[in-house]
Amino acid sequence: MKAISRVLFSALLLLPLLFSSCNKNDGFNIFSIDDDKKLGMQVHDQIASDPVTYPILDQTTYRDAYAYMYTMRDNILNSGQVYHKNDFQWNLYIIHDDHTLNAFCTPGGYIYVYTGLIKYLDNASTLAGVIGHEMGHADHRHSTKAMTEQYGISTLLDLVVGKKQNVLTDVAVSLVSLKFSRENEKDADAQSVTYLCPTKYHADGAANFFNKIIASGTSNPPEFLSTHPNPDRRVENIEAKKAALSCGGGNISTTEDETDYANFKSLLP
């Protein structure tokens, strides 16, 4: 009976946490915004400690390349559509790996983009679409919602009895290899359109990436598509979202979209 009472008492203690972790943007998530930031920092530290796997370009040496990407990030953040704009870091890191077509964003908004992806793309709108997609994962807190489903009640009880830090460390390790669900990917695609719609970039920029993958006919899709929805369907969904929001064609000039982007790529090693 005492054991049951303890469980009930723990559940009562958790009620404020559960209700505070639900809102229209985040859904059910046992982790707080502060937890997202701590997890992001832990993953960032893990990546920084492994320069062989993650050779990050120095931000001083490649100042102009980073400035280009930070301008792009600022355009997205200033769209008025990023829910956690002021909560997360939204720091950018370029990983020097020309063979990897990938980008990812940790909880708390640490954005990583591989040189392989940057060089593969043809214009600024496409890169902005991909970055917007990754920011959508962090902004809608897909990682910690996935961890909520994975850890469940055991994590809740650990939070109650004060083992939170150990749990967060375990979760941070899991986040490095986390695969998002199809629904999460669809949501991030939609967010990319929503973010870009008020900006100068083409709102369907992310679709250009998928169209290029489709046109290449590769039998070995990049990590970005490994367990994700069919590229053709993703293009359809992105274009449908753009139409639903009545987004224009983007007012970025061809010169800026393509020529300036080519100059940006030439800044990379």
Residue 8 lies in a domain: no
Are the C-beta atoms of residues 137 and 118 closer than 8 Å to each other? no
- What per-residue confidence (pLDDT) applies to 248? 85
Inside any domain, residue 244: yes
CA 99 to chain centre: 20
Residue 5 inside a domain? The answer is: no
What is the chain's pLDDT, residue by residue, as a tens digit (269 residues)?
444 344 333 333 343 444 344 454 555 777 789 888 988 898 899 889 899 999 999 999 999 999 999 999 999 999 999 999 999 999 999 999 999 999 999 999 999 999 999 999 999 999 999 999 999 999 999 887 777 776 665 655 565 455 555 655 565 556 655 678 888 899 999 999 999 999 999 999 999 998 988 887 764 555 555 445 577 888 999 999 999 999 988 899 999 999 999 999 999 99
pLDDT at 214: 84
pLDDT digits (tens, 9 = 90+) for 82-119: 999 999 999 999 999 999 999 999 999 999 999 999 99
Asked whether residue 32 is domain-assigned, the answer is: yes
Rounded to whole angstroms, how far apart are CA atoms 25 and 262?
A: 36
pLDDT at 217: 72
- CA–CA distance, 171 with 150 (Å, rounded to integer): 10
Lookup: tokens for 241 = 């979202």
Kindly state whether residue 3 falls inside one of the protein's structural domains: no
Residue 178 falls within a domain, yes or no?
Answer: yes
Q: How many CB atoms lie within 10 A of CB 87?
A: 16
Q: Please write the tens of the pLDDT for every residue from 18-46.
A: 434 445 455 577 778 988 898 889 889 98
Q: Can you tell me the distance from the alpha carbon of 188 to that of 206, in angstroms, rounded to the nearest whole number?
A: 10
In a domain, 112, yes or no: yes
Residue numbers of the domain that contains 87: 26-266
- Distance, in Å, from the CA atom of 40 to the CA atom of 269, rounded to the nearest integer, reads 27
Contacts 24+ apart (CB under 8 A), 109-116: 109/40, 109/84, 109/135, 109/138, 109/139, 110/40, 110/41, 110/43, 110/44, 111/73, 111/135, 111/138, 112/47, 112/54, 112/56, 113/69, 115/57, 115/268, 115/269
pLDDT at 165: 56
> Is residue 21 included in any domain, yes or no?
no
The alpha carbon of 250 is separated from its chain's Cα centroid by a whole number of angstroms, namely 23
Q: Total structural domains in the chain? A: 1
